[in-house]
Structure 1
């Protein structure tokens, strides 16, 4: 254990960062999968992955909208660079979601 870990503890990440090729395979081959775009509505309107739903992480009601989603489904979460979607995955994990995948590098990595 490092000095930093002994001071602050270790937060276990409750989602997986996956590369674009694996993200696309999961989207095509997984039953009950939801593509979740957490970018702004303007970004979403500018281009999205086929079948994606948009819930803006910056919206005031983000957490309440996320809380209404089916926790039994698999969520493939993405944004432009992978940062906001990682934050969204953390929020979702805190709400009890267990099948969470973040597009590493975001849509700019595709």
Structure 2
């Protein structure tokens, strides 16, 4: 897992043809907008979160974010423990995001 600044995270996810953006916030938080075409999997759903992660393609590179960067850091650690080699945390989360939201 790597903690990336907004600039690094945005550049790498945009330039990476193998990138998947993963939003681990709650459904209520997602209603305020999301980054790009992010896949939403709520980290607070416990085993259902792990089950959903296990269905993802391990060959992809995951760019993960939450509200402040804490939950997404935990999600990156979980991804790594499940055998996903490339998980990148957005340091500061969506609170510090200066790009567009959808």
Q: Deviations over 1:61-108 (max 9, x none)?
A: 000000110000000000000000000011111000001100011111
Consecutive unaligned residues of structure 1, counting only runs of 5 or more, are: 1-14
Larger gyration radius, structure 1 or structure 2 = 1
Runs of 4+ in 1 over 6 A off after TM superposition: none
Relative to the length of structure 1, the TM-score reads 0.85
* Rounded Cα–Cα distance in structure 2 between residues aligned with 1:31 and 1:99: 13
Equivalent runs, 1:60-75 vs 2, <5 Å = 60=46, 61-75=48-62
SS at 1:58's partner residue? Answer: helix
SS in 1 for 2:45: coil
> What residue number does 1:29 align with?
15
Equivalenced residues, count:
96
Q: How big is the alpha-carbon RMSD for the aligned residues of Structure 1 and Structure 2?
A: 0.7
CA distance in 1, matches of 2:11, 2:69: 18
Instruction: Find 1:78's aligned residue among 65, 68, 80.
Output: 65
Q: Which has the higher contact order (CA 8 A, sep 6+)?
A: 2
Deviation at 1:46, TM superposition (A): 1.3
